[in-house]
Amino acid sequence: MDYYIAVDIGGTQLRAALYPEGEQKAVSQKRIPTQTKDQSPVDRLLELIKNIMPSQGKVKAIGMAAPGPINPKTGILYAAPNIPGWVNLPLAQIVQDRFKVPTLLGNDANLAAMGEWKFGAGRGYQHLLYMTVSTGIGGGVIEEGKLLLGYKGLAAEIGHITVDPNGPLCGCGQRGHLEALASGTAIARYVSEQLASGVPSSMAELPAVTARDVSLAAEQGDPLAREALARAGRYLGRAIADFLHLFNPQIVIIGGGVSRSGRYFLDPLRNSIAEYVISPEYLHGLVVTTASLGDDAGLLGALALAQTVE
């Protein structure tokens, strides 16, 4: 039997899964911490892959999803934000040389788009915009049944467009990016600022507010929490309207932890898309929905990438 191996690389944990050819259900899964005292993250990754290798049969390809800017054409990871020392690392080559199996590497948000497209909420569509809203904001675009990569594979960095030139600083150092105004981090920061300025809320008791706390408080009727989610939803909706003008997708899929915040987040988002779009042609037949693969989006995206090797 032939197999594919998918690997999801994060700053906290490494996940790997083994899939028989033609299937999307893993016959084996493993996860280990990315960083330990006695081993480098590369050594841990190689060991994880070694341990997921099937005892019999051939592995046709290994697909790997990793955070940060990556050139999927060369398999080089330019910089992983949360893994010290991973700079200009030829990760696909390292794995391929070790296991003598064709190995492909892609950006995790790009691959989550591919996962949702092949196995999730985007099945059957040929023009798709996926965005993940969690600590940061990333995404991927499928155009005419193909992942939009750009020259070096650095396209679809949809969190890093300026939505308010006077807005707060983004993690990237620029001001007023979408990520700085509508990510989970931005939602939590907005609430913290409002609490500090004396706005009453059930969240005032919490030692530190997270986006998940805000979602829960919104469910329970907290006005500040609802306003914080609506504010992020409005920023995202206006940005999505701009993305409709740029990419003209058939379907917009919202993933990441914040996408599970329900109507206090999604209703303002949908309303803003409709308010800011320049022509109803962009909305006719457009589907706006949440992701369906949850935490497996990266892994299944890596599988979809591996399956491009036949």
Neighbouring CB atoms inside 10 A of 26's CB total 20
Number of residues that bind its own copies (CB under 8 A): 41
Taking the complex as a whole, the smallest distance from the CB of residue 235 to its own copies amounts, in Å, to 9
Kindly tell me which of 128 and 225 has the beta carbon lying closer to its own copies. 128
Closer by beta carbon to its own copies, 108 or else 157: 157
What's the min distance (Å) between Cβ of 15 and its own copies?
A: 27
According to CB under 8 A, which residues from 249 to 278 bind its own copies?
A: 249-250, 276, 278
Cβ 52 to its own copies, closest distance in Å? 31
CB of 239 to its own copies, least distance (A): 8
| Interface with its own copies in residues 144-173 (CB under 8 A) | 144, 146, 148-158, 160-165, 172-173
Cα-Cα-Cα-Cα torsion 254, 259, 260, 266, nearest 10 degrees, comes to -90
Q: How far is the CB of 120 from its own copies (least distance, A)?
A: 19
Spatial separation of the C-alpha atoms in residues 118 and 4, rounded to whole Å: 15
Q: Based on CB atoms, which residue is closest to its own copies, 181 or 211?
A: 181
Going by the DSSP 8-state scheme, the letter that residue 164 receives in this structure is -
Query: Binder to its own copies among 12, 246, 262, 308 (CB under 8 A)?
Result: 246
- Smallest gap, in angstroms, from Cβ of residue 8 to its own copies? 23
Residues near 236 by beta carbon (within 8 Å), at least 6 away in sequence: 131, 133, 178, 182, 254, 269, 272
Phi-psi region of 289 (alpha: psi -120 to 50; beta: other; left: phi over 0): beta
Q: Which is nearer to its own copies, 50 or 73 (CB)?
A: 73
Of 10, 3, 90, the C-alpha closest to 53 is: 3
Q: Does 124 bind its own copies (CB under 8 A)?
A: no
Which segment (193-201, 244-252, 254-262, 294-302) binds its own copies by CB under 8 A?
A: 244-252
**Do residues 302 and 111 touch, judged by C-beta distance below 8 A?**
yes
Asked if residues 183 and 109 have their Cβ atoms less than 8 Å apart, the reply is no
Q: Where are the alpha helices (DSSP H) in 68-137?
A: 91-99, 108-119
CB of 160 to its own copies, least distance (A): 5
Q: Tell which residue, 109, 107, 108, 143, has the closest CA to residue 128.
A: 143
Instruction: Work out how close the CB of 228 gets to its own copies at its nearest, in angstroms, rounded to a whole number.
Output: 18
The distance of Cα 62 from the centroid of its chain, to the nearest Å, equals 20
* Residue 247 neighbours by CB distance under 10 Å: 18
Listed in order, strand segments (DSSP E) in 39-189 are 58-66, 70-71, 76-79, 87-89, 103-107, 128-133, 137-143, 146-147
Determine, following the binding rule CB under 8 A, whether residue 60 of this chain makes contact with its own copies. no
**Residue found by looking up tokens 């070694």 in the block:** 50
Tell me whether residue 27 or residue 278 sits nearer to its own copies (CB atom).
278
Residue 174 touches its own copies, criterion: CB under 8 A: yes
Q: Taking CB under 8 A as the criterion, which residues in 177-236 touch its own copies? A: none
Q: Strands 251-255 and 128-133, how do they pair?
A: parallel
Site string for its own copies, 291-310 (x = CB under 8 A): --------------------
Sign of CA dihedral 146, 150, 154, 158: negative
Residues that bind its own copies (CB under 8 A): 69, 78, 126-127, 143-144, 146, 148-158, 160-165, 172-174, 238-239, 242, 245-250, 276, 278-279, 281-282
